[in-house]
Amino acid sequence: MEINYEVATASGLILAAVLIYILHGLRSGVVAEAQMNAEAGAAEPLDAESAMKRAQMLSGAGDYRAAVRYLYLAALLHLDEHGLLRYDRSLINCEYLRRVADRPDLAATLRDVVNLT
């Protein structure tokens, strides 16, 4: 009987830890998205050109981390605007790589960019 309680307790603790980890990840993603939207300064959607300008502005101000994020966003938006990849802000980097797997040149270039971000 004691072993069952110990197993149940350990399982419950593991489950709680996994749920906390997932919720923390979701919260971090929402916070990061809100920060990007706040940094953009407008509710209107970005296009590749405006994301590139934002990256240049942030780089000039010394905020290289945010500049790289906007540079990557500009690349994704550029691919979307040219019909090579559909931009979906809910996707993660590896999902974009899977979507271009049938285009080896594009996949290799995007993989290099993803490895830098």
Q: Are 49 and 43 in contact (CB under 8 A)?
A: no
Alpha helices per DSSP H over 41-63: 48-60
- Sorted by where each begins, the domain ranges of the chain are 1-44, 47-117
The residue among 55, 35, 62, 63 whose CA lies nearest residue 113 is 55
pTM: 0.59
Query: Structure tokens of 73?
Result: 């966003």
* In the block, residue with structure tokens 């809910």: 90
* In the block, residue with structure tokens 């971000």: 117
Tens-level pLDDT at each residue, the chain (117 residues): 455 666 667 666 777 666 676 655 655 555 555 556 555 555 455 899 999 999 999 999 988 888 888 888 998 999 899 888 899 988 888 898 899 889 888 888 888 877 766
Tens-place pLDDT, residues 38-58: 555 554 558 999 999 999 999
List CB contacts of 74: < 8 A, sequence separation 6 or more: 48, 49, 51, 52, 55
Q: Are 117 and 93 in contact (CB under 8 A)?
A: yes
Q: Are 39 and 31 in contact (CB under 8 A)?
A: no
